[in-house]
């Protein structure tokens, strides 16, 4: 059957169950029917059909019991026992039974705040033996938590020894630690001996324990509570004692005060570890409905290191219930996995004076950016889910703020009333005795003579009662009176005591008769509690300014993004390029290996997006500021470390996008001649794991992707020397996760090797720029340049026209590029030979020709790629392609 989750006696539980049923047992029952149903058959007497057990009945030694009814009854009994008697606090004193029993045990042992410490094992042993028949671990864990200054806002136990740490270190064994009550704990049990609360039998009936504490302290709000029952949970945050008492005084002074005004007095939870609460909406919701969520952030500041000038983030206060050691380990893992950039060192410098966790940053790191990443990815920012669930009149209820305060005041009214009644009984009994003594003193000679004449004490007592109209108690008090009370001084003391008692009796009767005087008495006690134990807030509350994006912390400036042939990427300041090009033509170091070069370079804003397309048709998204910054001499970082590209994938295109707007398109081409045009907006929201950019058939792969304008034209080139130039408008826009349409018809064994974007004739004439030429390179090292005007416009999906003759001399086409005369290109062979050539040195010849030799190669050597070089070493002015 389905089991309810077992509650722990230790209140330090971090799990919560969101659904809470204020009726207590209704929700507990709801999940039982399915667990008990067995094909609709009722099982009786513990056996069923086919079970092999004899049927229940008279011969079984008892009457038949329906197992469904028995289990429902037993489970509900267990659930309600956990709910009421173990896991949830009482709204009056804010304590669970285990806490109450531990504190009462210490009270019985006179383990007071101004006395000697006692071994924790002694407390645990007495508590288990007399009041709490459970494991010693549960009791000791409860005792430990009440002594931890990072768990309770106001300590109830004064501990001596190792009681654990915020790093998650466990407390020492109970035989090593010592404890005693705090002054605040005494206020919880004040007037316990004045019949202020009911006492109930303990588990074996040999002793009695209080059902609740009188509690001058609003402990449920002040120290909070946390626990998991069956089908419900509680998670009440701690609050500041001064604020809570001020709210109680406001209710006393102005009955019916609005909740909104109480929320202005109690501004929010006040955690023992401090921190910062971001936003007030969750607090307001919790106070109005009993449920809410608040965000807590660690309190930090930045420091600048003297020698290096680098910044450090220093954590002074952590969020409530955050394990510092685990937090440091988690941050180290994120840095190791390169999920957080910019951290160079991490250490814990906490000591007796307080917490200090230092996060050193790299020289180029922005502290606010790193801090925002830490808030997002680690427990430096946590969410506290508030559930104000407590036991009210024997049943669990979710309470609003004014209800919690009202129940406490109602409890104090009962306690003070019962205390006054008790004190009145004691005072009246004493006054009654004193009145008899005063009568005896007024008739001293007759009393002495009567006593001397009596044969026995009983006769003397009867004589006194008859002669002076005394009660038996008064007569006995006269007989018990010592002779020294007959002196003049003692007689005066008796008269003074009687007069004072009559004043006290009058005061107590007035309090009991007048509700206002009763509330005034409660008010005086609360004011004294505030004076004795009130303190300043530890947790700061700030308005939520909304989610802070990293872009909000980074200057919007243009940078140069370079991508090398082997897949290294970096960003550099635009000023470094201009500074190095001014005044000379010296060669500029790029930090790349001899076999690598920059084949893509663009200028983009740090707030721009970068789309990374792979051969498998997937697309990933980066922000330009996420690309590692490096100077001109640095190599950069492999792009596969920034996006999760699979081993069998290759990056085919990297496109900058300043903003995603309607009406702009991405154009893609595949190896098998499929093309696709999709609205750029389809790629505005990309998961960190990437999304599908184009659906590919088996054996197909993406060869290129470009951002195009409506006036631009597409040129597809195939391995066998065919090409097809068509307007991009012939390809209709379609969804993202689609296959596309035919771009060029391929012969058997032929495939597309390149896609070039060519401006239309009207666009070239309107801009007054030189028409681009089409550079074609073949496998055997031959190639040529051909005017783009030689490639006539065709319809999409045709076989196309010849771009170069793929004879035995030339070999198949390797690459086709649209180039300008000032461009440079790099050719690589399968044996690692490289040649860098100027485009203007390549002959411009007709389309249907064989071309000229571009590179000399050895026998069997073949060209594997041709790439346009984006960064030229002999140009004076950089003119990179404009970003999309």
pLDDT bucket at 865, cuts 50 / 70 / 90 = confident
Q: DSSP assignment of 164-203, as one string?
A: --TT-PPPPPTTT-EEEE-HHHHHHSTTTTTT-S-EEE-T
Does residue 20 register a pLDDT over 50?
no
Specify the fold of 412-533.
Answer: Topoisomerase; domain 3 (1.10.268)
Pairing of strands 741-742, 702-708: unpaired
Range name among 20-29, 72-81, 365-374, 753-762 with the lowest pLDDT average:
20-29
Query: What digits encode the pLDDT tens for the residues 511-520?
Result: 999 999 999 9
Judge contact between 127 and 102, C-beta under 8 A: yes
Confidence (pLDDT) at 273: 95
pLDDT category, 542, cuts 50, 70, 90? very high
Query: Model pTM?
Result: 0.70
Q: What is the pLDDT of residue 307?
A: 74
What's the confidence (pLDDT) of residue 177?
97
Structure tokens at 284: 């307001």
Q: What is the pLDDT of residue 591?
A: 52
Handedness of CA 719, 724, 728, 730 (dihedral sign): negative
Structure confidence at residue 873 (pLDDT): 42
Spell out the domain ranges in the chain: 26-46+62-230, 299-379, 412-533, 554-869
Count, residues in the chain: 884
> What per-residue confidence (pLDDT) applies to 22?
39
Do 706 and 714 contact (CB within 8 A), yes or no?
A: no
Q: Please give the radius of gyration of the chain, using alpha carbons only, rounded to the nearest integer.
A: 43
Please write the tens of the pLDDT for every residue from 259-271.
Answer: 999 999 999 999 9
Residue from 140, 216, 198, 142 nearest 172 by CA: 140
Q: In a 3-state reduction of DSSP, which class is residue 864?
A: strand
More confident residue, 157 or 22: 157
Question: Average pLDDT over the chain, rounded to whole?
Answer: 85
Please state which CATH class domain 299-379 belongs to: alpha beta
Residues 584 and 588: their CA atoms lie apart, in Å, by: 11
- Compute how many other C-beta atoms are within 10 angstroms of the C-beta atom of residue 846: 11
- DSSP code at position 72: H
Query: 567-598 pLDDT, tens per residue?
Result: 888 888 776 655 443 333 333 444 555 556 67
Q: What is the pLDDT of residue 59?
A: 44
Structure tokens at 710: 């409506």
pLDDT, residue 553, reads: 64
Per-residue pLDDT at 62 exceeds 90: no
The per-residue pLDDT for range 651-701, each reduced to its tens digit, is: 888 888 888 887 788 999 999 999 999 998 888 888 888 899 999 999 899
Total Cβ atoms within 10 A of residue 397:
20
Answer whether CATH 3.30.540.10 is correct for domain 554-869: no
Q: In 197-307, which ranges are E strands?
A: 199-201, 208-210, 225-228, 233-236, 276-278, 291-297, 299-304
Alpha helices in 443-471 (DSSP H): 444-453, 457-468
Given a cut of 50, is residue 37 above it in pLDDT? no
Please tell me the predicted confidence (pLDDT) of residue 48.
39
Phi-psi region of 95 (alpha: psi -120 to 50; beta: other; left: phi over 0): beta
**Separation CA 809–CA 131 (nearest Å):** 100
Could you report the per-residue pLDDT of 3-18, keeping only the tens digit for each? Answer: 333 333 444 433 333 3
Tell whether the model's pLDDT for residue 325 goes beyond 50. Answer: yes
Q: What is the DSSP string of 388-412?
A: -EEEETTEEEE--HHHHHHHHHHHH
Give residue 189's pLDDT.
Answer: 96
Closest CA relative to residue 815, chosen from 725, 683, 716, 746: 716
The predicted structure's pLDDT at residue 337 = 87
pLDDT in tens, 784-815: 999 988 999 999 999 999 999 999 899 999 99
In this prediction, residues 474-482 reach a mean pLDDT of: 90
**Active-site option among 176, 203, 278, 683:** 176
* HSE-CB for 832 with a 13 A CA cutoff: 3
Model pLDDT, residue 549: 61
Give percent of the chain with pLDDT exceeding 90.
57
Predicted local distance difference test score (pLDDT) of residue 556: 74
* 78: annotated active-site residue: no
CB 271 within 8 A of CB 320: yes
pLDDT of residue 648: 84
Query: Topology of domain 26-46+62-230, per CATH?
Result: Topoisomerase II; domain 5 (3.90.199)
Judged against a pLDDT cut of 90, whether residue 284 lies above it is answered with yes
163-216 pLDDT, tens digit per residue, is 999 999 999 999 999 999 999 999 999 999 999 999 999 999 999 999 999 999
Helix pair 515-533, 241-253: axis angle to 10 deg: 160
pLDDT interval class at 629 (50, 70, 90): confident
pLDDT at 592: 53
* Owner of token pair 């009983």: 458
Q: Assess whether pLDDT exceeds 50 at residue 31.
A: no
Q: List the one residue out of 579, 567, 575 whose CA is nearest residue 636.
A: 567
Q: How large is the average pLDDT for residues 423-444?
A: 92
Give the number of other CB atoms < 10 A from CB of residue 548.
15
Task: Output the pLDDT for position 826.
Answer: 85
């Amino acid at each position: 059957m389905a089991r309810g989750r077992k509650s722990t006696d230790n209140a330090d539980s971090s799990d919560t169950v969101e659904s809470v049923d204020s009726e207590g047992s209704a929700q507990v029952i709801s999940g039982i029917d399915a667990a008990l149903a067995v094909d609709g058959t009722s099982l009786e007497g513990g056996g069923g059909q086919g079970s092999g057990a004899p049927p229940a009945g008279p011969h079984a030694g008892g009457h038949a019991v329906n197992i469904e009814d028995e289990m429902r009854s037993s489970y509900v009994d267990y659930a309600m026992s956990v709910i009421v008697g173990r896991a949830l606090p009482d709204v009056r004193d804010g304590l669970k039974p285990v806490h109450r029993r531990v504190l009462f045990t210490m009270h019985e042992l006179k383990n007071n705040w101004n006395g000697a410490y006692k071994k924790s094992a002694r407390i645990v042993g007495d508590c288990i033996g007399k009041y709490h028949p459970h494991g010693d671990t549960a009791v000791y864990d409860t005792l430990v938590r009440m002594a931890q200054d990072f768990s309770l806002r106001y300590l109830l136990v004064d501990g001596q020894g190792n009681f654990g740490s915020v790093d998650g270190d466990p407390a020492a064994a109970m035989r090593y630690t010592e404890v005693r009550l705090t002054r605040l704990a005494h206020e919880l049990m004040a007037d316990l001996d004045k019949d202020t609360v009911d006492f109930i039998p303990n588990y074996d009936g040999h002793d009695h324990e209080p059902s609740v504490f009188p509690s001058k302290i609003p402990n449920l709000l002040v120290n909070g509570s946390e626990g998991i029952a069956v089908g419900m949970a509680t998670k009440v945050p701690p609050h500041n004692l001064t604020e809570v008492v001020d709210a109680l005084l406001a209710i006393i002074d102005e009955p019916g005060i609005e909740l909104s005004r109480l929320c202005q007095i109690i501004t929010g939870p006040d955690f023992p570890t401090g921190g910062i609460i971001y936003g007030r909406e969750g607090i307001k919701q919790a106070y109005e409905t009993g449920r809410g969520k608040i965000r807590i952030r660690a309190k930090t500041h930045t420091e600048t290191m003297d020698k290096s000038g680098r910044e450090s983030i220093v954590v002074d206060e952590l969020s409530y219930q955050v394990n510092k050691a685990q937090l440091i380990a988690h941050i180290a893992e994120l840095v190791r996995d390169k999920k957080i950039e910019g951290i160079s060192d991490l250490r814990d410098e906490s000591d007796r004076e307080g917490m200090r966790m230092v996060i050193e940053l790299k020289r180029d790191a922005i502290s606010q950016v790193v801090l925002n990443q830490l808030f997002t990815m680690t427990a430096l920012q946590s969410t506290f889910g508030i559930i104000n669930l407590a036991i009210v009149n024997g049943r669990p209820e979710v309470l609003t703020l004014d209800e919690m305060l009202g129940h406490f005041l109602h409890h104090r009214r009962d306690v003070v009333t019962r205390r006054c009644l008790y004190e009145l009984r004691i005072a009246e009994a004493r006054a009654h005795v004193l009145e008899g003594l005063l009568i005896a003193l007024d008739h001293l000679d007759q009393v002495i003579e009567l006593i001397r004449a009596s044969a026995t004490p009983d006769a003397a007592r009867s004589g006194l009662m008859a002669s002076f109209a005394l009660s038996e108690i008064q007569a006995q008090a006269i007989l018990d009176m010592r002779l020294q009370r007959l002196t003049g001084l003692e007689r005066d003391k008796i008269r003074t005591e009687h007069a004072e008692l009559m004043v006290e009796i009058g005061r107590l009767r007035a309090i009991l008769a007048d509700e206002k005087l009763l509330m005034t008495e409660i008010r005086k006690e609360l004011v004294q509690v505030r004076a004795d134990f009130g303190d300043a807030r530890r947790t700061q509350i700030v308005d939520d300014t909304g989610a802070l994006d990293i872009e909000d912390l980074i200057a919007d400036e243009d940078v140069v993004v370079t991508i090398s042939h082997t897949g290294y990427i970096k960003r550099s300041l635009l000023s470094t390029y201009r500074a190095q090009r001014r005044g000379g033509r010296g060669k500029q170091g790029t930090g790349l290996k001899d076999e690598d070069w920059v084949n893509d370079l663009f200028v983009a804003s740090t707030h721009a997006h970068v789309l990374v397309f792979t051969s498998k048709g997937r697309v990933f998204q980066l922000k330009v500021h996420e690309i590692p910054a490096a100077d001109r001499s640095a190599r950069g970082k492999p792009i596969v470390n920034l996006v999760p590209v699979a081993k069998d994938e290759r990056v085919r295109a990297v496109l900058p996008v300043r903003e995603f707007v309607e009406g702009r398109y991405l154009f893609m081409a595949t190896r098998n001649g499929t093309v696709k045009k999709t609205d750029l907006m389809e790629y505005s929201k990309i998961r960190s794991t990437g999304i599908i950019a184009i659906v590919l058939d088996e054996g197909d792969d993406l060869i290129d992707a470009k951002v195009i304008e409506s006036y631009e034209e597409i040129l597809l080139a195939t391995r066998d020397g065919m090409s097809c130039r068509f307007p991009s408008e012939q390809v209709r826009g379609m969804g993202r996760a689609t296959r596309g349409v035919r771009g060029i018809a391929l012969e058997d064994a032929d495939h597309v090797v390149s896609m070039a974007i060519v401006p239309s004739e009207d666009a070239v004439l309107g801009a007054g720029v030189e028409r681009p030429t089409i550079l074609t390179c073949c496998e055997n090292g031959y190639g040529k340049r051909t005017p783009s005007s030689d490639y006539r416009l065709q319809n999409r999906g045709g076989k196309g026209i010849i771009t170069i003759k793929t004879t035995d001399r030339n070999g198949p086409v390797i690459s086709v590029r649209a180039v300008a005369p000032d461009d440079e290109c790099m050719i690589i062979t399968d044996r690692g030979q490289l040649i860098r050539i100027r485009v203007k040195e390549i002959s411009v010849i007709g389309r249907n020709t064989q071309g000229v030799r571009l590179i000399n190669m050895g026998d069997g050597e073949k060209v594997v790629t041709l790439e346009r070089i984006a960064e030229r070493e002999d140009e004076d002015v950089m003119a990179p392609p404009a970003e999309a």
